Amino acid sequence: MAGQAHYTSAAPSADAPHGGFRFTAVSPTARPALDVLRPLTAYARPPGADRDRPFPVAFAYDRPGDDAAVLTRTRFTGEDYTGRWGNHFCHALYAAPGELAGVRPVELWDTPHWAPAPDVGQNLPDLTPLVPGTAVGPDRVDHLLAGLGDPGVRLLERLLTVALRALAGEGPGATLVAADTDRVVDWIAAVSYPLPAGLAARLTFTTYTARPQDDHRHLTGTRPETGERATGPVFHLDRLAADGCPEPSLTARFLAGALAGGRLDLLDAVADLWDAGPGDGAEAGVRRLRAGCALLAPDGDAGTFGGEGARLADFVHAVAELRPQEAGLAPERLRDAAARHLAAGTAPLGDVSAALAPLPEPYRPAVLAGLLAALEASAELRTAALDTEACASLASLADDAPDLLAATPATALHVLRRAPGEPRQAALRILRLFRQGLWEETETYEALRDLVRAEEPEPEPEPERAPRLLWRRGSARSAQDKE
């Protein structure tokens, strides 16, 4: 069951001898959580606000712990019981995350659970189940993106990028600036619907705060008069502009493109893969999402779906969590996804065999083939990614899986030349590839030649000679002058 509580400024009563801001009505499930709820009930009016101007509604979603989800709807109510102007009413819903199963929190923007006015001195009932409203749904997002066209999709790509990085603990959240709170709701919904429902349930937000610089949520709405206070990426929704935002990630492009193009089948496929993994936190959830998008992306897409310099072990761990065998994914799909993911990597690979260990057959050699293909296409990547440990790990392929290594001769030579051990061992491995018919005579000769050249000491520079020729020329000029 979900608990609920009302918070406002109220007159003294039998159980509250002091008037002022307090919880005036509470349900049984919410009562033990009042200390958790109290910091989430605040409301600050916009600067320069007056009585004739409507005040924004602060609809917020928080995850104060892994076992708690809190939704609040706070609105300005004018005068309190003393006639003082400045009262507000916060209605809070307190639930276990399981109460939100299958529901995206933004869908509760207009749930019928919200009370029009606070109850005072009454016991509220617990709620079950939490019922979404009717104002927020996929159609609302479709209408938003259809009306804005390509600029709207581009803005969504950037907003998804920031939101996913914030969810993974890789950067600050986004501030959404708009004169109308409904527009902030539009974009919170636009970020929520491409995500699997379980990950959207980790996305915290508020539609309004007067202090965006102090807000801790992933998406923070504010008015234009307070937008300049934000310290992280800022999205100006009324003019489709963004400040301080990273370039869109390929995960964000994939998700935004699928949503804008009506490819709900792709989003459903990502969600199915994501749901196969364990629900162990937002960071792991983003990692699984990136891996799922990499697996389902069109073959023509390139680049990495992970964070900057994503490690091979992180990618493999995320893929293993997706359980590709149970999902019926072809090894070739995983091979191509690994090649795309690693093509833009900059982190050293380390022990490749240990990194690939979590993958079952036949996915382990598929990822290895994708890794070697990415390395073969880029000398720069070979230099950045193949440290001594990686070379030692991959050099063993000449004995254990020679056909994989033989298919990428430039990578093979790089690995065999730099793996720890005697040059003779590298030469024997090269000859073994040749004897097995995996390398031609020409490439074998060139590999051995390059290996020998790499072991030859650099010739010592010749000592500088005295400039005797210049002296002789000078002497000749002197003799001519005498004549």
Q: What is the pLDDT of residues 162-200, one digit of tens each?
A: 999 999 999 999 999 999 999 999 999 999 999 999 999
The residues with which 20 forms a beta bridge, in sequence order, are 10
Neighbours of 472 (CB within 10 A): 10
User: Is residue 13 a contact partner of residue 47, using CB atoms and an 8 Å limit?
Assistant: no
Q: What is the pLDDT of residue 332?
A: 87
The string over 262-292, giving b where at least 16 C-beta atoms fall within 10 Å of a residue's C-beta and e elsewhere, is eeeebbebbbebbeebeeeebebbbbbbbbb
Band the pLDDT of 459: cuts 50, 70, 90: low
**Closest C-alpha to 186, from 223, 142, 132, 151:** 142
For residue 442 the two structure tokens come to 């020409």
| 118 neighbors 26 (Cβ within 8 angstroms) | no
Which CATH topology does 138-250 take? Rossmann fold (3.40.50)
Tokens of 375: 């390395």
240: tokens are: 């489709």
Number of Cβ within 10 Å of residue 85's Cβ equals: 10
CB 37 within 8 A of CB 62: no
Could you tell me the pLDDT band of residue 305, with boundaries at 50, 70 and 90?
Answer: very low
Strand order in the sheet with 234-236: 122-123, 20-26, 3-10, 85-95, 68-79, 58-65, 205-206, 219-222, 174-177, 234-236, 241-243
Average pLDDT over residues 235-244: 96
**392 CA to centre of own chain:** 32
Q: How confident is the model at residue 468 (pLDDT cuts 50, 70, 90)?
A: very low
pLDDT interval class at 310 (50, 70, 90):
low
Q: What is the mean pLDDT of residues 281-305?
A: 73
Predicted confidence (pLDDT) per residue in 427-451, tens digit: 888 887 887 777 788 878 777 877 7
Cβ atoms within 10 A of the Cβ of 125, count? 12
The model carries a pTM of: 0.76
221 strand-pairing partners: 176
The whole-angstrom separation of Cα 116 and Cα 60 is: 17
Write out the two tokens for 188: 């919170």
In 3D, which of 429, 399, 403 has the Cα closest to residue 416? 429
Ramachandran sector of residue 381 (left: φ over 0; alpha: ψ -120 to 50; beta: rest): alpha
Closest CA to 215 of 166, 252, 260, 262: 166
What would the pLDDT profile of 249-289 be if each residue is shown by its tens digit?
Answer: 989 999 999 999 998 888 988 888 888 777 668 898 998 89
Average pLDDT estimate for 299-326 = 64
| 10-35 per-position pLDDT tens digit | 999 877 888 899 999 999 999 999 99
| Residue that the structure tokens 């990028």 belong to | 161
Degrees, nearest 5: CA angle 370-376-380:
115
Neighbours of 313 (CB within 10 A): 18
Give the three-state DSSP class for 61: strand
DSSP 422: -
CA–CA distance, 104 with 277 (Å, rounded to integer): 19
Q: In Å, how far are 54, 218, 284, 344 from 83, measured between CA atoms? A: 19, 37, 51, 63
Q: What is the largest CA-CA distance in the chain?
A: 129
Residue 444, pLDDT score: 81
Question: Please, which pLDDT band fits residue 457 given cuts at 50, 70 and 90?
Answer: low
3-state helix, strand, coil in the chain (%, to 5): 50, 15, 40
Backbone angles phi, psi at 101, to 5 degrees: -55, 125
Cβ atoms 105, 207 nearer than 8 A: no
As annotated, the residues of the chain forming the CATH 3.40.50 domain(s) are 138-250
Each residue's pLDDT tens digit, 398-428:
778 888 888 888 888 888 888 887 677 778 8
Look at 60-74, 174-188, 328-342 and tell me which has the smallest mean pLDDT: 328-342
Who wins on pLDDT, 312 or 45? 45
Greater pLDDT, 483 or 350: 350
CB 273 within 8 A of CB 327: yes
* Nearest alpha carbon to residue 190 among 233, 123, 129, 235: 235
> Residue 22: beta bridge partners?
8
Q: Distance between alpha carbon 1 and the CA centroid of its chain, in Å?
A: 32
